Chain A
């Protein structure tokens, strides 16, 4: 969440700076330039001190052996990357777990969010209350409290097993069985559908109702309307949600950290969790930094892929008018 807010802030800040710069150049007045920078100084300082500097440090550390406790990182060149790709079976397990999660949890969460958004896209009385209620899990979603609750629900003595006992079945160790553990986290992800739902809801509101009326007159059924009107008209919003969810999916951490701890058999050892363990439990900060930069590249690659593919499936009204 913080990363997303930050990146929009970055974009907004940059846009503001550019507009300001252009205007002042036109007037050829240096003082205006200075004023502009002064206005954005609080943000600029924050950006350089809390974003650029740590990123540069992490890039440097990626090529070192650094255990936090010693004062000086030792330069090791590409050794961290060699170990990661060639000699660390756990690394590949974490990659596998993360891809599994992203490939399943992201589409499921989006589908669920769209479904709920469509249900809530009516003008009945009290629907705004429902919207607020359905959004609530996402407000507390990233928090530790929800993850702890999840742990209780799926624990061996948890709520779910109380139900299985009621119907006379043997209790299931949801969190200890490699076949079920990751699905508890996927369920948690799907349950936290609130923010994409809200964005879908706004998108649905933008679709002109004339389109549906015209389609009804032409005899189109509900499915036709959904696939031929709703989905194409909504596709820019879907693209936005998809990009955001893929990025946050690759960075999933809290849920696994608290609910499963990466167990069993590393099936829920997500990339960010393993990175954290290497950095802060084994004190291999250089190795963790190297992992972080590989993650950055992988996320950038998949984001680019989604954007590239968008020309095949995203429908922009504006484009046809040009």
Chain B
């Protein structure tokens, strides 16, 4: 060989060997499942031996990816249900991922940008408009029409939350509503009467103060500075936080919000609610298990009704918890609305939309599945499932069913889905420019409410056509 040629040969060999060694693990077929696949989970271990893979099955093997957010309780239940599904459908292999609410939308958006959305994703009322408008989730009307997804046992009110521009893009996983969860034993111990369902914010303040004085714990937990409460104040007033076309603030007077902020300052000063400083230090970004009522540090808490299942589980089955509607403005209407707690949607990019739809149908209608899921995502929309679950309901589940049934009698119609810019308002205005500066005494409630109005109008002005 020519002496001058050996460096080239050597380098080519080197590069090729590097490239090959880098590719090798990916190139060889890997029969063993990834760590996240359900089959690898210990929960499925007892089921494994009985599910001999059926080679005679004519169906093609199908792999579905599925993601959701939620509490530990939800993860456990959902994984168990998925394992059951795979046991009943040996040709379907489901891989799953789950994260907390805070990380979920980041993950999903990144996957959307990479054209890599999972086949089935949990969706929220706040996001379905955006995902539909960008053509990322599939209309499901055809699957409902041909019976793949059976919605015969539901009412339109339970399904229509998943409609965008007239098309059904998301299947409601359960109905819920915001609520106060109260520790009945603490109330009894303090000798404080349990408030009525049409209680007002003034009642709430008095109750929290009394509980605090009698028991020495917080009367009320954290979270009352959030955007849901801000909206509910105006819902009670027959208004909403944004106007109908999502281009500006939706209410006439700042006074209800100012009064609310002032009340929170009074409660905080008295030590009757978890102060904002402790809220941001300890409860920020944590799931519902971190609520102060769980550890008996507070006698009341603010949650979504489906979360009672996770709260009860974390607090212990011996605790007596009860749900109350949101407080109203004095003389106001109900501040509640019935909300689809979350949805399943199918990605437009899914290679197996039919199989994904079958899974959603099973999740919605299978009594077996829902016994595992335990209505943790809210009251199931199928009346058959509800009836089947009723005799087996736990204390917390029964409380949730009763609560949703009772609230739906007085609840307001569901407000329009949040316009683009909502996450900007919550993330960069509500807490950082209004709630926190007010809570830490940097600005007055009046100034805070004025900033809110001004910034919301600025941000939402971009939505004007």
Contact = CB atoms under 8 A, between A and B. Distances in A.
B228 interface: no
A41 interface: yes
A265 interface: yes
A68 B442 CA distance: 35
Interface string B103-116: 00110011011000
B7 A42 contact: no
A14 B241 CA distance: 58
Most buried by B among A34, A261, A264, A277: A264
Contact of B436 (A34, A39, A175, A265): A265
B285 A261 contact: yes
Contacts of A38: 8, 11-12, 14-15
A95 B10 CA distance: 51
A142 interface: no
B215 to A, nearest CB: 18
B136 interface: yes
A282 B432 contact: no
A176 B437 contact: no
B424 interface: yes
Interface in B240-286: 275-282, 284-285
Nearest to A42: B18
B392 interface: no
Nearest to B462: A65
B134 interface: yes
A120 interface: no
A94 to B, nearest CB: 10
Contact of B109 (A68, A88, A260, A265): A68
Interface string B1-42: 000110110111011001100000000000000000000000
Interface in A201-252: none
B230 interface: no
Given A29-B4, A39-B11, A39-B14, A282 B436 contact: no
Interface string B405-441: 0000000000000000001100110001100110010
Chain A binding surface SS class: loop
Interface string B280-307: 1110110000000000000000000000
Contacts of B8: 31, 34-35, 38
Contacts of A261: 280, 284-285
A280 B106 contact: yes
Contact of B280 (A264, A277, A280): A264
B130 interface: yes
Given A39-B11, A178-B440, A261-B285, A89 B277 contact: no
B199 interface: no
A93 B130 CA distance: 30
Nearest to B442: A265
A78 B276 CA distance: 37
A259 to B, nearest CB: 10
A165 interface: no
Interface string A68-101: 1111000000000000000011100100000000
Interface string B40-60: 000000000000000000000
Interface in A14-48: 29, 31-32, 34-36, 38-39, 41-42
B423 A175 contact: no
B131 interface: yes
Contacts of B110: 68, 280
A32 B12 CA distance: 13
B141 to A, nearest CB: 23
A122 B104 CA distance: 52
8 contacts: A35-B11, A42-B15, A175-B282, A176-B278, A264-B440, A265-B440, A282-B424, A283-B423
